[in-house]
Protein backbone atom coordinates (compact mmCIF):
# COMPACT_ATOMS: atom_id res chain seq x y z
CA UNK A 1 0.00 0.00 0.00
CA UNK A 2 1.22 3.47 -0.84
CA UNK A 3 2.27 5.33 2.37
CA UNK A 4 -0.05 8.19 3.31
CA UNK A 5 2.81 10.69 3.15
CA UNK A 6 3.45 9.71 -0.51
CA UNK A 7 -0.12 10.47 -1.62
CA UNK A 8 -0.13 13.49 -3.88
CA UNK A 9 -2.60 16.32 -3.47
CA UNK A 10 -4.17 15.48 -6.87
CA UNK A 11 -4.67 11.86 -5.84
CA UNK A 12 -6.12 12.89 -2.49
CA UNK A 13 -8.63 15.32 -4.05
CA UNK A 14 -9.67 12.82 -6.70
CA UNK A 15 -10.23 9.96 -4.31
CA UNK A 16 -12.00 12.18 -1.78
CA UNK A 17 -14.41 13.44 -4.44
CA UNK A 18 -15.16 9.93 -5.68
CA UNK A 19 -15.77 8.63 -2.17
CA UNK A 20 -17.98 11.62 -1.33
CA UNK A 21 -20.18 10.96 -4.34
CA UNK A 22 -20.51 7.35 -3.29
CA UNK A 23 -21.46 8.41 0.23
CA UNK A 24 -18.45 6.74 1.84
CA UNK A 25 -16.86 7.89 5.08
CA UNK A 26 -13.36 9.04 4.16
CA UNK A 27 -10.48 7.74 6.24
CA UNK A 28 -6.74 7.55 5.60
CA UNK A 29 -7.03 3.79 5.33
CA UNK A 30 -9.80 4.03 2.75
CA UNK A 31 -7.82 6.53 0.64
CA UNK A 32 -4.67 4.48 0.83
CA UNK A 33 -6.51 1.30 -0.08
CA UNK A 34 -8.16 2.95 -3.07
CA UNK A 35 -4.90 4.39 -4.43
CA UNK A 36 -2.95 1.17 -3.96
CA UNK A 37 -5.63 -0.93 -5.59
CA UNK A 38 -6.39 -3.09 -2.57
CA UNK A 39 -9.92 -4.25 -1.86
CA UNK A 40 -10.32 -2.95 1.69
CA UNK A 41 -13.95 -2.39 2.63
CA UNK A 42 -14.80 1.36 2.89
CA UNK A 43 -16.59 2.58 6.03
CA UNK A 44 -20.14 3.67 5.23
CA UNK A 45 -22.51 5.72 7.34
CA UNK A 46 -25.27 3.90 9.17
CA UNK A 47 -28.26 3.00 7.01
CA UNK A 48 -31.28 5.32 7.38
CA UNK A 49 -34.23 4.05 9.42
CA UNK A 50 -36.91 2.11 7.60
CA UNK A 51 -39.68 4.14 6.02
CA UNK A 52 -43.19 4.20 7.47
CA UNK A 53 -46.29 3.99 5.32
CA UNK A 54 -48.74 6.82 6.03
CA UNK A 55 -51.96 8.12 4.56
CA UNK A 56 -52.63 11.85 4.79
CA UNK A 57 -55.44 13.89 3.31
CA UNK A 58 -53.90 17.19 2.24
CA UNK A 59 -56.20 19.92 0.95
CA UNK A 60 -58.87 17.30 0.29
CA UNK A 61 -56.59 14.97 -1.67
CA UNK A 62 -55.44 11.66 -0.20
CA UNK A 63 -51.75 10.86 -0.33
CA UNK A 64 -50.37 7.39 0.43
CA UNK A 65 -46.73 7.90 1.27
CA UNK A 66 -43.70 5.99 2.47
CA UNK A 67 -42.00 8.44 4.80
CA UNK A 68 -38.64 8.55 6.50
CA UNK A 69 -39.57 8.83 10.22
CA UNK A 70 -37.63 12.05 10.78
CA UNK A 71 -39.09 14.13 7.94
CA UNK A 72 -41.10 17.11 9.13
CA UNK A 73 -44.52 17.97 7.82
CA UNK A 74 -43.03 21.19 6.45
CA UNK A 75 -40.38 19.40 4.41
CA UNK A 76 -42.93 16.88 3.17
CA UNK A 77 -45.22 19.66 1.96
CA UNK A 78 -42.50 21.73 0.32
CA UNK A 79 -39.91 19.26 -0.93
CA UNK A 80 -41.99 16.23 -1.85
CA UNK A 81 -45.49 17.52 -2.56
CA UNK A 82 -44.32 20.92 -3.88
CA UNK A 83 -46.85 22.87 -1.82
CA UNK A 84 -44.50 25.80 -1.40
CA UNK A 85 -47.05 28.28 -0.09
CA UNK A 86 -46.09 27.10 3.39
CA UNK A 87 -42.84 28.89 4.19
CA UNK A 88 -39.74 27.78 6.08
CA UNK A 89 -38.76 30.72 8.27
CA UNK A 90 -36.85 29.96 11.45
CA UNK A 91 -37.29 26.15 11.30
CA UNK A 92 -37.44 26.26 15.12
CA UNK A 93 -41.15 26.91 15.77
CA UNK A 94 -40.57 30.55 16.67
CA UNK A 95 -41.88 32.61 13.74
CA UNK A 96 -45.10 30.87 12.61
CA UNK A 97 -44.40 31.20 8.87
CA UNK A 98 -44.92 27.44 8.50
CA UNK A 99 -48.34 27.35 10.20
CA UNK A 100 -50.85 24.91 8.68
CA UNK A 101 -54.00 23.32 10.03
CA UNK A 102 -53.95 19.69 11.14
CA UNK A 103 -57.44 18.33 11.78
CA UNK A 104 -58.63 21.91 12.17
CA UNK A 105 -55.97 22.90 14.70
CA UNK A 106 -53.05 25.15 13.79
CA UNK A 107 -49.60 23.61 14.09
CA UNK A 108 -46.04 24.64 13.33
CA UNK A 109 -45.28 22.24 10.51
CA UNK A 110 -41.53 22.65 11.04
CA UNK A 111 -41.88 20.99 14.48
CA UNK A 112 -44.41 18.35 13.41
CA UNK A 113 -43.18 14.96 12.27
CA UNK A 114 -45.14 13.97 9.19
CA UNK A 115 -45.64 10.39 10.40
CA UNK A 116 -47.55 11.66 13.46
CA UNK A 117 -50.27 12.92 11.12
CA UNK A 118 -51.06 9.49 9.69
CA UNK A 119 -54.79 9.38 8.94
CA UNK A 120 -55.14 13.11 9.52
CA UNK A 121 -56.40 16.01 7.45
CA UNK A 122 -53.97 18.81 6.62
CA UNK A 123 -54.99 22.18 5.20
CA UNK A 124 -52.37 24.53 3.80
CA UNK A 125 -52.74 27.99 2.29
CA UNK A 126 -53.28 26.33 -1.11
CA UNK A 127 -56.38 24.54 0.24
CA UNK A 128 -58.29 27.53 1.61
CA UNK A 129 -59.75 28.88 -1.62
CA UNK A 130 -63.02 27.37 -2.88
CA UNK A 131 -63.86 27.07 -6.55
CA UNK A 132 -61.24 29.63 -7.50
CA UNK A 133 -62.59 32.14 -5.00
CA UNK A 134 -60.28 33.26 -2.18
CA UNK A 135 -61.12 32.38 1.39
CA UNK A 136 -62.71 35.32 3.27
CA UNK A 137 -59.54 35.64 5.34
CA UNK A 138 -57.41 35.83 2.20
CA UNK A 139 -59.71 38.49 0.78
CA UNK A 140 -59.61 40.46 4.05
CA UNK A 141 -55.80 40.42 4.12
CA UNK A 142 -55.76 41.85 0.60
CA UNK A 143 -58.41 44.45 1.40
CA UNK A 144 -56.67 45.56 4.58
CA UNK A 145 -53.08 45.34 3.25
CA UNK A 146 -52.27 42.83 5.95
CA UNK A 147 -48.82 42.14 4.52
CA UNK A 148 -45.77 43.76 2.98
CA UNK A 149 -43.11 41.30 1.83
CA UNK A 150 -45.68 38.48 2.11
CA UNK A 151 -43.29 35.84 3.45
CA UNK A 152 -45.22 35.31 6.69
CA UNK A 153 -48.66 35.80 5.13
CA UNK A 154 -49.57 32.17 4.44
CA UNK A 155 -48.83 31.26 8.04
CA UNK A 156 -50.66 34.34 9.32
CA UNK A 157 -53.78 33.48 7.31
CA UNK A 158 -53.85 29.79 8.29
CA UNK A 159 -53.32 30.78 11.92
CA UNK A 160 -56.08 33.40 11.77
CA UNK A 161 -58.60 30.96 10.26
CA UNK A 162 -57.91 28.35 12.92
CA UNK A 163 -57.79 30.98 15.67
CA UNK A 164 -61.31 32.22 14.90
CA UNK A 165 -62.58 28.65 14.96
CA UNK A 166 -60.88 28.13 18.32
CA UNK A 167 -62.50 31.29 19.66
CA UNK A 168 -65.91 30.31 18.31
CA UNK A 169 -65.65 26.90 20.02
CA UNK A 170 -64.98 28.59 23.36
CA UNK A 171 -61.28 27.82 23.69
CA UNK A 172 -59.91 30.36 26.20
CA UNK A 173 -56.85 32.57 25.93
CA UNK A 174 -54.90 34.53 28.51
CA UNK A 175 -56.91 37.66 27.61
CA UNK A 176 -60.31 35.99 27.66
CA UNK A 177 -59.62 34.56 31.12
CA UNK A 178 -59.17 38.13 32.35
CA UNK A 179 -61.94 39.69 30.27
CA UNK A 180 -64.83 37.79 28.68
CA UNK A 181 -66.32 40.78 26.89
CA UNK A 182 -65.80 39.30 23.43
CA UNK A 183 -62.99 39.09 20.91
CA UNK A 184 -61.16 42.37 21.47
CA UNK A 185 -58.22 43.61 19.41
CA UNK A 186 -56.01 42.79 22.39
CA UNK A 187 -57.23 39.22 22.33
CA UNK A 188 -56.67 38.91 18.58
CA UNK A 189 -53.09 40.05 19.12
CA UNK A 190 -52.60 37.62 21.99
CA UNK A 191 -54.06 34.68 20.11
CA UNK A 192 -51.95 35.51 17.02
CA UNK A 193 -48.77 36.10 19.01
CA UNK A 194 -47.11 32.98 17.62
CA UNK A 195 -46.99 34.50 14.13
CA UNK A 196 -44.28 37.09 13.62
CA UNK A 197 -44.42 39.75 10.89
CA UNK A 198 -40.97 41.24 10.47
CA UNK A 199 -42.44 44.01 8.30
CA UNK A 200 -44.65 45.13 11.20
CA UNK A 201 -48.03 44.87 9.48
CA UNK A 202 -49.75 43.94 12.76
CA UNK A 203 -52.41 46.70 12.81
CA UNK A 204 -53.66 45.67 9.37
CA UNK A 205 -53.52 41.98 10.27
CA UNK A 206 -55.70 42.64 13.31
CA UNK A 207 -58.10 44.66 11.15
CA UNK A 208 -58.36 41.82 8.63
CA UNK A 209 -59.11 39.27 11.35
CA UNK A 210 -61.64 41.64 12.89
CA UNK A 211 -63.44 42.04 9.53
CA UNK A 212 -63.85 38.29 9.10
CA UNK A 213 -64.95 37.84 12.70
CA UNK A 214 -67.61 40.54 12.36
CA UNK A 215 -68.90 39.22 9.04
CA UNK A 216 -69.05 35.58 10.06
CA UNK A 217 -69.53 35.75 13.82
CA UNK A 218 -66.17 34.12 14.45
CA UNK A 219 -66.73 31.05 12.28
CA UNK A 220 -64.00 31.05 9.60
pTM for the complete prediction? 0.76
Question: CA nearest 147: which of 93, 218, 98, 209?
Answer: 209
- The confidence score (pLDDT) of residue 49 equals 62
Torsion of CA 26, 32, 37, 39, to 10 degrees: -60
Ranges under pLDDT 50 in the chain: 23-31, 33-35, 44, 47
pLDDT digits (tens, 9 = 90+) for 97-143: 999 999 999 999 999 999 999 999 999 999 999 988 999 999 999 99
Q: Note the CATH number of domain 128-220.
A: 1.10.150.120
Count of C-beta atoms within a 10 Å radius of residue 31:
20
Domain ranges of the chain: 4-44, 49-86+109-126, 128-220
- The confidence score (pLDDT) of residue 30 equals 46
- The confidence score (pLDDT) of residue 20 equals 55
CATH class for domain 49-86+109-126? Answer: alpha beta
- The confidence score (pLDDT) of residue 31 equals 44
- The confidence score (pLDDT) of residue 182 equals 73
Sign (positive or negative) of CA dihedral 43, 45, 49, 50: negative
- The confidence score (pLDDT) of residue 18 equals 57
- The confidence score (pLDDT) of residue 112 equals 98
- The confidence score (pLDDT) of residue 172 equals 84
- The confidence score (pLDDT) of residue 198 equals 96
Amino acid sequence: MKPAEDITRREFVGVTAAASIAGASITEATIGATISGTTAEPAYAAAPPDSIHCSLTINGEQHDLDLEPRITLLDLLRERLHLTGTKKGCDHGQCGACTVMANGRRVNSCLTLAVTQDGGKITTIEGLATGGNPHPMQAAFIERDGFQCGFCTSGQICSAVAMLNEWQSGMPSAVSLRNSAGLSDAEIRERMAGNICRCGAYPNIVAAVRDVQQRQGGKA
